[in-house]
Amino acid sequence: MRIRARVEGTVQGVGFRPYVYRLAGELGCSGHVFNDARGVVVEVEAGAAEVERFLTRLPAEAPPLARVERVMTEPVPATGSSGFTIVESPAGGEPSALVSPDTATCAECLEELFDPADRRYRYPFVNCTNCGPRFTIVRGVPYDRPLTTMAGFRMCDACQAEYDDPADRRFHAQPNACPACGPRVRLLGSDADDAVRAAADALRGGAILAVKGMGGYHLACRADHEWAVAALRGRKHREDKPFALMAPNLVAARALVELGTEEETLLVARERPIVLARRRPGAPVASAVAPRSPDLGVMLPYSPLHHLLLAEVDLPLVLTSGNVSDEPIAYRDEDAVTRLAGIADAFLVHDRPIHTRTDDSVVRAVAGRPLMLRRSRGYVPTNIDLPVPAKRHVLACGAELKSTFCLARGSRAWVGHHIGDLSNYETLRAFTEGIEHFERLFAVAPAVVAHDLHPDYLSTRFAHEREGVELIAVQHHHAHLAACLAEHGETGPAVGAIYDGTGYGTDGTVWGGELLRGDLVSFERIGALYPVRMPGGEAAIRQPWRMACAWLVAADAAPPPTVRSRDGWEQVSGLARTGFASPVTTSVGRLFDAVAALCGVRDEVNYEGQAAIELEAACDPVEEGAYPLGPDLDPRELVGAVVADLERGVGVGVVAARFHNAVAAATAEACTRAGEGTVVLAGGVFANRRLLERTRALLESRGLRVLVPERLPPGDGGISYGQAAVAAARTR
Ligand SMILES: [Zn+2]
Ligand SMILES: [Zn+2]
Ligand SMILES: [Zn+2]
C-alpha cells in the first residue's frame, strides 16, 4: 500500500527529511519526502504492516529539534516505486518553518570533540543537524548557508560530502565545518598554538577574559577568585546585580546550588538557560558574585568552545554579559574590543560573525514548573501560538523595560529576543533591526500595530511612525493578563491579579496593583491597591525609602528607627503629603520597595526589582503569621503593623514573611470574590517565588484554576505577546 503523510510543526531545517529517509530505509519502504509551504510531505509504499509501523514511529522518534504538531495521512495509489529519495523542495516554501533556536552541542558532537582520533578533536565549532548555532547566524531566508554568517567559509571536500549525504547526521547542517575549512578561535595578542588552553591558563591565574560566544561576548573569570570577581564588578560598573555562573558539568553545578528535578531538567535542556536556584551553604564562589542573594544563576556549557574552556579550567566561572553597566551586550568584534578593552585582560575571539545579538535566557523553577525570567538564546525564535488567529499580520511593540517585540500571522506568533531597556540609541537600533529581521524571516508584513497606552514610551512612538497601518493601543496590565491567557491557549474570561512596577493606566495614573476581569478583547478594573504618592516621581523608583515615606504618610504612622534619621526625610514626607511633583500610583512593586526600606533591607536600588528580591530573600521560611490586609487591597493598616513590629524589635525575617503572607492571602481572597473560575497571576512582582507559590496554593485549595506565565516572563518581556493576542482578538 502507499500512503501520503503531511507533517506540520517545526519540521524544516531540523534534520527531518534525512530522518524520514533513514526510517523508511530501515523499514524497507520506498517513496519520497520533500518540504513544502506547510511542512513536510512523505509518501511511503510497502506492506500494510511496515507502513503502519512507519506511521507510528514517524512522530515518536522525530529528531530532537523537530516539533511535530500534526500528521495527516491519506491513501494514494501504489506506484511500484523502489528506493527512497529526498526530493528538492518546490519553490515558495514557508520561511517560518526554517529557523530554529541556537541549540546546545549534542552528545554525538561532544564525543567527537573529545575524541583524539576524530578529525574534529578539540574543534570549537563542531556541530550537526541536531545542534549548533541557528538563529544567531541567520541573515535571511531561505535558511541556507549563503544567507548565514557561515557564507564566508567554503566547505572542504570531507565536510561537503557529509553535507550532501542524506544518511549523514550533517546532511544540510548549514553551519557544518571542521578545522580544515571552518572558523578559528584565537587569543588576541598571543601566538599560542592552542588558544583555548592559553585562555584557560589566564583564567586560572585570575585574569578577566572576554569570550566571544554564540549570541555575544561574555566576560569571564574564576567564580571563586575574590579579587578577580571584585575587579570585574568594579570595571563593569555593576554594583550588586548578581553575576551568572557557568559550571563545567552537572556535578560541579550541584556543588553550587540545590537542584531539584525541575532545575536539573532545565539545566541540561538543549536551550541551556541560566537556572536560578538556591545557593548551597559553602558554595565555592567569591562573595562579590551575588551579594545578599540567596540564589545563584548557573548554566552549563552550550557551545563546543565553552565545553573546551570549562573542561580545561575545571572550575566554575563567572560568565556575564560583555558590556558596561546597562548597555546591550557587545557582539560585533571591533565594537567589543573597543568597549571591553578597559574590562578584559584578554580576548578569546573567533571569526564566525554573530548576526543577531542574544543574551542568555534566565529561568527559575517555581512549584515544579519553569518560570521564564528572560527569554532569549535557546528559545527564540520558536513560535508561541495564539488562541485567536490574527486575521491580518500583527506587529506588537511591547513596553519599555525588558523590551521585546512580537510578530504574528495566523495562529503563529514570534516573540523576539530580549532587547533590554529601550532607553538608548543602541537598544532602539537593536529593536528596529530585530523587527525588520523577523518580518523577513517569517514573512510578516504588519497591517496592524499594537502598542502600550503610555504615550512617551519609545516603543509607542515607534508604532506611531509606521505608516498605513491600523494602530491598537493596549493597556499595560491587560496585556499582562492576555499574554498569560494566550500562552495557555485560553481566551478568558478570567480574573487577573496583575502586580508590577509601572504601567500606564486608562486614567493616566501609574497602575501596578490591578485586579482585572477580562478576556483577550477587553477588561474591567474591579480593584486596585490603595493609591499613594510617588514622592519626586521617578526618583521614588530608585530610592525605595521615598516610598516608605509615602506609605507612612498614607497610614499616618511614625517612622520606625530603621529610617527615621535619614537625610531628606522631612522634605520627602512633605512631597507625599502635598502631592507636589508626586504622581499617584497603585503599584505593588512600590509597596514591596516601601516595606524593604522600612525593614532596613534596602533604601536605594541599583537594578530593577532589587529591593523586592532582597526582601524575599530575607523572609523567615517558617513564619506563618500575616499582617492585616483585606481583599480591598488597602495596606494602610498593614503598614502600621509593620512599623509596630519593627518598633518592638521583631526580626526583619519575620516582618518580611508576614508581609508576603498578607499579600498572598489578600490576593487570593480578592480573586476568589471576583467569582471567576480561572485566575491569572502575572506581572513582574510574581517573579517572587514565595508570593507566587503561596497565592497559587491558596487559590487552588479553593478549587480555582490558576494560570501563571511559563513560556514567557511574568514581567514586561511578555507584554508584546499579550498586545499581539489582544490585537488579533480585536481585529477578528
Ligand atoms: Zn551535534
Ligand atoms: Zn571541513
Ligand atoms: Zn508590567
Residues 412-450 pLDDT 10s: 999 999 998 888 888 899 999 999 999 999 999 999 999
Q: For residue 106, how far is its CA from the centre of ligand 1 (angstroms)?
A: 4
Band the pLDDT of 223: cuts 50, 70, 90.
very high
- Residue 425's alpha-carbon distances to 261, 327, 691, in angstroms, are 42, 10, 36
Question: How many Cα atoms sit within 13 Å of 652 on the Cβ side?
Answer: 16
Instruction: Give me Rg for the CA atoms of the chain.
Output: 27
Rounded Cα distance, 548 and 546, in Å: 5
Percent of the chain with pLDDT over 70: 98
Residues 6+ apart with CB under 8 A from 303: 104, 105, 124, 133, 213, 214
3-class state of residue 370 by DSSP: strand
| 682 pLDDT higher than 80 | yes
Whole-angstrom distance, CA of residue 276 vs CA of residue 113 = 29
DSSP 523: E
- Identify the weakest region by mean pLDDT among 396-410, 561-575, 696-710: 561-575
CA of 278 to the centre of ligand 3 (A): 26
The span from the CA of 154 to the CA of 351, in Å, is 14
Domain boundaries, the chain: 2-86, 185-350, 380-476, 477-732
pLDDT of residue 702 exceeding 90: yes
Residue 135 has pLDDT above 70, yes or no: yes
Q: How far apart are CA 417 and CA 708, in angstroms?
A: 21
Closest ligand to residue 685's CA = 3
Ligand nearest to the CA of 270: 1
In this predicted structure, what is the pLDDT of residue 292?
Answer: 86
The pocket of ion ligand 2, defined by CB under 5 A, consists of 156, 159, 178, 180-181
- Cis ω on the peptide bond leading into residue 142 (within 30° of 0)? yes
Q: What is the pLDDT of residues 11-30, one digit of tens each?
A: 877 888 889 999 999 999 99
Calculate the alpha carbon distances from 363 to 275, 279, 477 in Å: 5, 15, 22
Its CATH class, for the domain covering 477-732, is alpha beta
The distance of Cα 666 from the centroid of its chain, to the nearest Å, equals 30
Q: Could you tell me the distance, in angstroms and rounded to a whole number, from the CA of residue 88 to the centre of ligand 2?
A: 24
Span from the CA of 709 to the centroid of ligand 2 (angstroms): 43
**109 alpha-carbon distance from chain centroid:** 26
Ligand nearest to the CA of 722: 3
Q: Which CATH number is associated with domain 2-86?
A: 3.30.70.100
Dump pLDDT digits (tens) for 440-487.
999 999 999 999 999 999 999 999 999 999 999 999 999 999 999 999
Closest ligand to the CA of 153: 2
Range with lowest mean pLDDT among 372-376, 605-609, 717-721: 605-609
pTM: 0.93
How far does residue 289's CA lie from ligand 3's centre (Å)?
Answer: 28
CA of 480 to the centre of ligand 3 (A): 7
Looking at the DSSP assignment, which residues form a beta bridge with residue 497?
515, 681
Determine the distance separating the centroid of ligand 1 and the alpha carbon of 89, expressed in angstroms: 24
Indicate the residue type of 114. F
CA of 500 to the centre of ligand 2 (A): 51
Q: 62: CA distance to ligand 2 center in Å? A: 27
Distance in Å, CA 173 to ligand 2 centroid: 12
- Return the pLDDT at 96: 47
- Rounded to the nearest angstrom, the distance between the alpha carbon of 186 and the centre of ligand 1 is 23
Out of 90-99, 166-175, 687-696, the most confident range is 687-696
Domain range 185-350, its CATH number among 3.90.870.10, 3.90.550.10, 3.40.190.100, 1.10.357.10:
3.90.870.10
Distance 183 CA to ligand 2 centre (A): 10
d(CA 90, CA 619): 61
Q: What is the DSSP string of 421-484?
A: -TTSHHHHHHHHHHHHHHHHHTT---SEEEEES-TT-HHHHHHHH--S-EEEEE-HHHHHHHHH
Give yes or no for a contact between 425 and 367, defined as CB atoms under 8 angstroms apart.
Answer: no
Asked if residue 47 has pLDDT above 90, the reply is: yes
Mean pLDDT of the residues in the chain: 94
User: Which ligand sits closest to the CA of 682?
Assistant: 3
What is the Cα–Cα distance from 66 to 84, expressed in whole angstroms? 21
Nearest to 408 by CA among 731, 92, 684, 140: 731
Are 253 and 267 contacting, i.e. CB atoms less than 8 angstroms apart? Answer: yes
Find, among 196, 219, 238, the residue nearest to 344 by Cα: 219
Q: From the CA of 244, how far away is ligand 3's center (Å)?
A: 24
- Return the half-sphere exposure (C-beta side, CA atoms, 13 A cut-off) of residue 336: 27
pLDDT digits (tens, 9 = 90+) for 190-206: 988 899 999 999 999 99
Q: How far is the CA of 61 from the centre of ligand 1 (A)?
A: 17
> Residue 535: its pLDDT value, please?
97
Q: Which ligand is nearest to the CA of 170?
A: 1
Top pLDDT among 604 and 9 is at: 604
For ligand 1, the distance from its centroid to the CA atom of residue 126, given in whole angstroms, is 7
Centre of ligand 1 from the C-alpha of residue 105, in Å: 5
- C-alpha of residue 67 to centroid of ligand 2, in Å: 29
Judged by its nearest atom, the ligand closest to the C-alpha of residue 169 is 1
pLDDT above 90 covers what percent of the chain?
84
Task: Give residue 54's identity as a one-letter amino acid code.
Answer: F
**pLDDT tier, 91 (very low <50, low <70, confident <90, very high otherwise):** low
Do 2-86 and 380-476 fold alike per CATH?
A: no
From CA 157, how far away is CA 54, in angstroms rounded?
Answer: 34
Q: How far is the CA of 702 from the centre of ligand 1 (A)?
A: 48
Residue 92 is predicted with a pLDDT of: 52
Amino acid at 116: P
One-letter amino acid at 177 equals A
Gap from CA of 61 to ligand 2 centroid (Å): 29
Q: Which of 78-92, 321-335, 609-623 has the lowest mean pLDDT?
A: 78-92
Report how far ligand 2's centroid is from the alpha carbon of 474 (Å): 51
First-to-last C-alpha distance (Å) of the chain:
43
Residues 459, 422: Cα–Cα separation, whole Å: 8
Ligand 2 centroid to residue 308 C-alpha, Å: 19
Q: 203 burial class (0-12, 13-18, 19+ CB within 10 angstroms)?
A: buried
Cβ 16 vs Cβ 59: under 8 Å: no
Q: What is the DSSP letter of 106?
A: P
Check whether domain 380-476 has CATH 3.40.190.10, yes or no:
no
What does the block give as the cell for 551? 506609605
Ligand nearest to the CA of 307: 1
More confident residue, 99 or 487: 487
Q: Does an H or E element contain 221, and which? A: strand 217-222
pLDDT digits (tens, 9 = 90+) for 627-659: 999 999 999 999 999 999 999 999 999 999 999
- Rounded distance from Cα 713 to ligand 3 centre (Å): 10
The C-alpha atoms of residue 123 and residue 218 are separated, in whole angstroms, by 20
Q: Which ligand is nearest to the CA of 158?
A: 2
**377 C-alpha vs ligand 1 centroid, how far in Å?**
17
Ligand nearest to the CA of 127: 1
Tell how far the Cα of 556 is from the centroid of ligand 3, in angstroms: 29
Gap from CA of 435 to ligand 1 centroid (Å): 30
Which residues, other chains included, contact 26 with Cβ-Cβ below 8 Å and sequence gap of 6+? none
Measured in Å, residue 124 CA sits from the centre of ligand 2 at 13
State in Å: Cα 677 to ligand 3 middle. 24
Instruction: Evaluate if residue 299 carries a pLDDT over 90.
Output: yes
Residues 6+ apart with CB under 8 A from 538: none
Question: What would the grid cell of residue 708 be?
Answer: 501563571
In angstroms, the CA 474 to CA 362 distance is 27
The pLDDT of residue 56 is above 90: yes
